[in-house]
Structure 1
Amino acid sequence: MTDRHSAAPDRLHSLPRYRQPLPRNSVTRHIVVMQSAAACSPVVGELEQPLVLNGENADFSRRLQRALVSATVGSHLYIMGDEAFIWRIYGEARSAGLENDEIDMTHTIAGARLVYCVHCGLTQAAGPESLLICIGCDVGLEVREHFSRRLGAYLGVCTNPDQPYAGVRS
């Protein structure tokens, strides 16, 4: 992350930055996690004997957990998919003990993103729209240009602060 003053003026510093992954020569084990075959990046073909996990496979969750808990020093994780998928896998990887510099995240397909409702605390999948109704508390939310790496979600705040619970009480 960069500080606010050196960030691009048209982009807030809290927004995630994605880039194409680069093959790393010092890595002893490449773990590629992709949401679907369509999410695969060409760099996978350049990796030496990668473990490739496809989110569409029936045993994906079990294989992912096994790969994450068995990752040792020298392993590198490449995550490819939409934002909701990327940040869910990132959270699992961090919980399993991988460090930030051992993880590359590449936003390769359009799809869902996660939005955190500040009113009820629910994190929900949403599209690219800037307005939505929270499925947890029925409050109209504006999705802010602020991203929490800890939550892996954008911040959703009430669109009408004068009537924050208008949807619930009507």
Structure 2
Amino acid sequence: MRPASMTVPEGICCDPGFRGLICVSFGKTDSLTADYHTGGQRRHVIHFDGANTDTLSYLRSTIELACVGVRLVLIGPMADIKAAAAVAAECGLADDEVTLVSDGSEHRTVFCAHCRTVTKTVEPTGSELECQGCTTVLSISNHFSRRIAAYLGYAAHAEEAA
């Protein structure tokens, strides 16, 4: 995956084998998809308010129907674009076929190792938060799972004597 800032990466559509572009934006970033030129190849633009089960399912079906050589550009909050990137990886897209463009928001997703609930937060790694599933106080680790698109959260004070 090519991470990028809010500016358009150069040469995204000039790769050998390029067969089209899927631009997916989340939140308030839908106007940024106009900056991607395809050199005459197909272009599919999708906008979602956020990444959830329904939107990711729609994205999965769009990717599965795409031809070999398609490139995927994901624009929006990091939590949303990483969830979409996980779907792209499950569908077989290689890292160099996916470009992530973050809107700079600090939202992150934390996976509870105890109850497997996902909690959204703006807290940085190394801090603590309460799990929305089991109410355990979690420490947000630096470990990020690309497969589940979330940071690992584990019991913050598990090593302390009871």
TM-score range relative to shorter protein? 0.7 to 0.9
Indicate how the Cα distance of structure 1 residues 53 and 161 shifts in structure 2: closer, same or farther if over 3 A, else same: same
Gaps of 5+ in 1: 2-16
Structure 2 residue 25 is the aligned partner of structure 1 residue 31: no
- Hey, which of these two has a bigger chunk of strand by percent? 2
Q: In the TM superposition, what are the counterparts of 1:1-170 in structure 2 within 5 Å?
A: 18-20=3-5, 21-22=9-10, 23-26=12-15, 27-38=18-29, 40-41=31-32, 44-48=34-38, 50-56=43-49, 64-129=59-124, 130-162=127-159
Give per-residue Cα distances to partners, 1:29-52, cap 9 Å, x unaligned: 01100103436547x424125311
TM-score when scaled to structure 1? 0.72
Q: TM-score, normalised by structure 2?
A: 0.75
Paired AA for residue 37 in structure 2: L
Cα gap change, 1:152/1:127 in structure 2, threshold over 3 Å: closer, same or farther?
Answer: same
Secondary structure, aligned partner of 2:24: strand
Percent of aligned positions that are identical: 28
- CA RMSD of superposed structures (Å): 2.9
How many residues are treated as equivalent by the alignment?
148
Distance 1:153 1:65, change over 3 A: closer
State which drifts further: 17-26 or 116-125: 17-26
- Runs of 5+ in structure 2 lacking a partner? none
User: Using the alignment, how far apart are the partners of 2:56 and 2:157 within structure 1?
Assistant: 40
